[in-house]
Amino acid sequence: MNENRKQLIHLTVNGEVQSVAVESHWTLSRVLRNDCGHTGLKEACGEGACGACTVLIDGVAVPSCMVLAVEQEGKSIETVEGLSKNGVLHPIQEAWLEEYGAQCGFCSPGMIMSTKALLAKNPDPTEDEIKEALGGNICICNNYEHIINAVRSAAKKMREKA
């Protein structure tokens, strides 16, 4: 049963190709945190219910604790670390700071990645659309008002830039 214990997979994480040897039962969140050094994403519930481990796989937001790393061969993965460029924050991150989107900050990496996926699809979301899109991300500090304001402000910043 333990033949071929480790397999080499190739991931493009935030634009950088990485080769990692993984075991078949390792989740993507574990590999990203332990082997790729991307500790921005957090693993909290481990069952896909809280969204703290949200990353974008080929542009789609998924909880990385619920996907097997071996199945991500050749995929392009985006984590919160990939947002700022050359020390300049991404508009979503700026909005998060200005609107106090984070209290303890544990949910922020996931919230921000879900926001990125939402704004790529819908540059001007209504409050209901924001609530629906962030429905899979839980904030234990109950900071939702500020998070929604941050998403709105981020959307505005990104529209102005574009």
Write the binding mask 111 to 150 for other proteins: x where contact by CB under 8 A, - elsewhere. Answer: ---x-----------------xxxxxx-------------
Mapped onto helix, strand or coil, the DSSP state of residue 38 is coil
Rounded to the nearest whole angstrom, what is the least distance from the CB of residue 39 to other proteins in the complex?
Answer: 20
Given 11, 20, 27, 77, the residue binding other proteins (CB under 8 A):
27
Residues, the chain: 162
What Å distances lie between residue 84 and 80, 88, 90, 92, CA to CA?
8, 5, 5, 10
Closer to other proteins at the Cβ: 81 or 129? Answer: 129
Contact of 14 with 81, CB cutoff 8 Å:
yes
Nearest distance, CB of residue 143 and other proteins, angstroms: 17
Name residues whose C-beta falls within 8 Å of residue 51's C-beta, 6 or more positions apart in sequence. 63, 107, 110, 111, 114, 134, 136, 137, 138
Of 5 and 159, nearer to other proteins (C-beta) is 5
Nearer to other proteins, 5 or 89 (CB): 5
In angstroms, give the least distance from the CB of 114 to other proteins: 7
Residues 44-83 that bind other proteins (CB under 8 A): 46-49, 51, 54, 60-63, 66-68, 70-71
The token pair at 93 is 């991150």
Using an 8 Å Cβ cutoff, are 41 and 52 in contact?
A: yes
> Would you say 14 or 54 has its CB closer to other proteins?
54
List own/partner pairs for 130-135 with CB under 8 A and 24 or more apart.
134/51
The contact set with other proteins (CB under 8 A) reads: 1-5, 7, 23-25, 27, 46-49, 51, 54, 60-63, 66-68, 70-71, 114, 132-137
